[in-house]
Structure 1
């Protein structure tokens, strides 16, 4: 009993030394006191964000699609040449402006074919894209496309009609006929070096040994004729100097 009383007295003595009045204040003091030491928070590293490159994924950059091949612009002249077939007849002729060394065609591209039986037909296409035959009343017309590089060559044979006119070149008493030309039958200036308009008086099947004497239309005909054998000698073309107005 006396020991218990002594213990209580010791506690009260300690409280008094601390300036506390009772045991409840001691409990509050203990609760409010900070811990003697604080343990550091465990270290947690921040996650590293890594962007994969092409080598990680095993995939390269997507191949860019090849550009679409460009379509050549339409070429009306090339299309006109390619539309022509062997046997077609065309209303095309040499104007004579190219002189005696070259042909100046009356149009820049072949027009639509016309009837070979009609008077509009001035040439007939005998072959295409081959070595063209040569001779009186024969020529060719070629075109090379700057777009595709393709070439088309038309072999042409002249078609003659009575009462039409062609150009001539007179030197003295001789007249050379420009057999691929055509010209209006009227008195007007003609391209150099030509100096005559020749009127076609007849187109005949040529007899053996045919010449200008076979051009006489009636007995005693005194007309002066100039003639040429065309179609490889099969046809006699008869002309005279145009005398009309």
Structure 2
């Protein structure tokens, strides 16, 4: 794996990756869920990865036997779903991808939200809201270190 690669793996909602071995895919592919933004062979490199909404890291042994830390950020695509706590202050691990039609969620009290938009963050002080249908409830999260915003509604 190299920086710039996109992978078909994601957090499965139970603090595990969805597959033991990631597969490289095109970054615009429908199964591109994570983007590798840095690779390191240094022990403890996970602590130097970006953190915040949509960021995670994965320590993985390569085919050559070398342990690597993959610093990852979520590839957000309209239509993908994730579980979230939406009563009170909204909270979600945005590295989790969840089946939009699932009848269960990983943790009690969570709902399934569908990404309805991915936008460049508005300039500070700009009055902006997520586009939504009449009467439709939506939630949003700043991602990519505040450079972008995802909007979501109930799946």
TM-score w.r.t. structure 1 length? 0.55
Q: Is the strand fraction higher in 1 or 2? A: 2
Q: How many equivalent residue pairs?
A: 148
Q: CA deviation at 1:118?
A: 1.8
Per the alignment, in what secondary structure is the counterpart of residue 183 of structure 1?
Answer: coil
Separation (CA, whole Å) in 2 of partners of 1:196 and 1:212: 27
Q: CA deviation at 1:173?
A: 3.2
Per the alignment, in what secondary structure is the counterpart of residue 181 of structure 1?
Answer: coil
Are positions 1:126 and 2:37 aligned together? yes
Decide which structure has the larger Cα Rg and report it.
1
Per the alignment, in what secondary structure is the counterpart of residue 91 of structure 2?
Answer: strand
User: Which residue, 68, 71, 76 being the options, matches 1:160?
Assistant: 76
TM-score w.r.t. structure 2 length? 0.84
Which position in structure 2 is the counterpart of 1:136? 53
Separation (CA, whole Å) in 2 of partners of 1:135 and 1:173: 20
- 1:167/1:194 contact within 8 Å kept: no
Moved over 4 A (4+): 210-213
Ranges in structure 2 where 5+ consecutive residues have no aligned partner? none
Which position in structure 1 is the counterpart of 2:88? 173
Which position in structure 2 is the counterpart of 1:110? 22
Separation (CA, whole Å) in 1 of partners of 2:127 and 2:136: 10
CA RMSD of aligned residues (A): 2.4
Highest RCO, 1 vs 2 (Cα 8 Å, sep ≥ 6): 2
Q: CA deviation at 1:217?
A: 4.2
Are positions 1:233 and 2:149 aligned together? no
Q: Is the helix fraction higher in 1 or 2? A: 1
Instruction: Please list the CA deviations of residues 2-60 of structure 1 after superposition, one character each: whole Å capped at 9, or x if unmatched.
Output: xxxxxxxxxxxxxxxxxxxxxxxxxxxxxxxxxxxxxxxxxxxxxxxxxxxxxxxxxxx
Ranges in structure 1 where 5+ consecutive residues have no aligned partner? 1-83, 99-103
Q: CA deviation at 1:222?
A: 3.0
Separation (CA, whole Å) in 1 of partners of 2:115 and 2:121: 15
Superposed, 1:8-47 pairs within 5 Å as: none
Which position in structure 2 is the counterpart of 1:37? none
Which position in structure 2 is the counterpart of 1:188? 103
